[in-house]
């Protein structure tokens, strides 16, 4: 360029540019830097030849090595699966209610269930299994159909209200308001009674009327004192645990229009061992119950236990 000149102080030619009196010297790059740059160029060309690298319209160049990230992942997953095959085979052969007899086996089942829970269940029940409105908390000891490991396994296996599965969990509560079984005023009286037996309100004329309506319409499933009934999946009403809420608005919606929650039948989506491990994990969350002891033929039936709402 016309403005190039030799700098008097350094004896180096300038590049010919000047900004506010500041000029740049045209010093050559260090040899080590140039050789490093050339090496990276050679490496990049070699990489593009050996590995998938250059994107196309539908896929990248395949590379001469045949390596793919999907293939590498598949190999790692197959290796991990092979390392677990032995313990999974033992879990598969062990009845779910006997896993606790072997602490090592139970620990492996719980760990496997925790991993499966993170993939399949946290979307509804939350990362800590604490649930949300309409999704049960799996950490407490309130259960609709029972909290022993075999019962949990049955629920997971067949789901809740799954069409085409005769073993699915199903409970049917009438929509007392929508179906015209009770008037709007009577629905409010029943709500008042439920709020009294759950300790949220004091007795009132409304709750007294609701007690009579409750006896006529609700006792057959929920019990005389609102203790619930697992045989029909009827929730307990005389505690402070609620699936959809225990405030007046939520209870009014429940009594008037009923609730019909669903859960997938994981037996048709996951392999049997994974379902069994999920049962072990849920049972171990803190609310799991011991497997009920067999009842003698001449023994009196026990009172209905608590259930979740």
Asked if 88 contacts 275 with a C-beta cutoff of 8 angstroms, the reply is: no
Distance CA(30)–CA(221), nearest Å, equals 87
Instruction: Write the CB contacts of 130 (distance below 8 Å, at least 6 apart in sequence).
Output: 137, 138, 139
**Options 3.40.190.290, 3.40.1550.20, 3.40.50.720, 1.10.760.10; which CATH number does 91-167+267-289 get?**
1.10.760.10
- Domain ranges in the chain are 14-50, 91-167+267-289, 184-257
Q: Which residue matches tokens 């049917």?
A: 172
The per-residue DSSP string of 178-200 comes to TTTSS-HHHHHHHHHHHHHHTTS
pTM over 0.85: no
Distance CA(308)–CA(141), nearest Å, equals 8
Per-chain mean pLDDT for the chain? 91
- The pLDDT tens digits of the residues spanning 88-141 come to 999 999 999 999 999 999 999 999 999 999 999 999 999 999 999 999 999 998
Question: One fold for both 91-167+267-289 and 184-257?
Answer: yes
CA distances from 267 to 96, 244, 264 (A): 14, 26, 9
Residue 260, both tokens: 């019909």
| Phi, psi dihedral angles at 43 (to 5 degrees) | -60, -45
CATH number belonging to domain 184-257: 1.10.760.10
Distance CA(204)–CA(61), nearest Å, equals 78
Ramachandran sector of residue 228 (left: φ over 0; alpha: ψ -120 to 50; beta: rest) = left
- The pLDDT tens digits of the residues spanning 206-227 come to 999 999 999 999 999 999 999 9
Residue 67, both tokens: 């390596």
pLDDT score recorded for residue 239: 94
pLDDT score recorded for residue 1: 54
Asked if 287 contacts 142 with a C-beta cutoff of 8 angstroms, the reply is: yes
pLDDT score recorded for residue 2: 67
Q: Helix axis angle, 205-217 relative to 184-197, nearest 10°?
A: 100
- The pLDDT tens digits of the residues spanning 240-251 come to 999 999 999 999
- Return averaged pLDDT per consecutive 10 residues of the chain, 309 residues in all: 79 86 87 97 96 89 91 92 92 96 96 96 95 94 93 97 94 95 98 97 97 97 95 94 96 96 96 97 89 50 37
CA distances from 7 to 23, 26, 158 (A): 9, 10, 86
Distance CA(149)–CA(289), nearest Å, equals 7
pLDDT score recorded for residue 294: 52
The per-residue DSSP string of 284-303 comes to TTTT-BPPPPPPPTTSPPPP
Instruction: Write the CB contacts of 107 (distance below 8 Å, at least 6 apart in sequence).
Output: none
Burial of 19 (0-12, 13-18, 19+ CB in 10 A): exposed
């Amino acid at each position: 360029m016309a403005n190039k000149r030799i700098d008097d102080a350094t004896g180096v030619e300038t590049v010919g540019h000047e900004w506010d009196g500041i000029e740049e010297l045209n010093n050559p790059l260090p040899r080590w830097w140039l050789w490093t740059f050339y090496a990276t160029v050679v490496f990049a060309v070699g990489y593009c030849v050996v590995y998938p690298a250059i994107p196309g319209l539908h896929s990248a160049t395949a590379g001469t090595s045949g390596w793919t990230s999907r293939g590498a992942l598949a190999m790692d997953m197959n290796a991990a699966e092979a390392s677990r095959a032995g313990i999974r085979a033992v879990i598969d052969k062990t009845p779910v209610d006997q896993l606790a007899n072997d602490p090592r086996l139970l620990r492996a089942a719980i760990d496997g269930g925790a991993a499966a829970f993170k993939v399949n269940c946290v979307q509804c029940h939350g990362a800590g299994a604490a649930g949300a409105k309409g999704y049960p908390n799996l950490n407490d000891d309130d259960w609709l159909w029972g909290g022993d490991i075999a019962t949990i396994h049955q629920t997971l296996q067949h789901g809740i209200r799954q069409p085409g599965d005769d073993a699915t969990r199903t409970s049917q509560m009438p929509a007392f308001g929508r179906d015209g079984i009770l008037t709007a005023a009577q629905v409010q009286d029943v709500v008042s009674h439920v709020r009294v037996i759950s300790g949220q309100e004091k007795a009132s004329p409304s709750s007294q009327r609701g007690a009579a309506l409750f006896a006529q319409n609700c006792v057959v499933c929920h019990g005389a004192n609102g203790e619930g009934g697992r045989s029909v999946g009827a929730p307990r009403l005389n505690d402070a645990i609620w699936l959809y809420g225990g405030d007046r608005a939520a209870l009014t919606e429940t009594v008037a229009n009923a609730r019909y929650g669903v859960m997938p039948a994981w037996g048709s989506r996951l392999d049997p061992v994974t379902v069994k491990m999920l049962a072990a994990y849920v049972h171990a969350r803190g609310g799991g119950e011991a497997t009920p002891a067999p009842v003698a033929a001449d023994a009196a039936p026990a009172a209905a236990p608590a259930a979740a709402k």
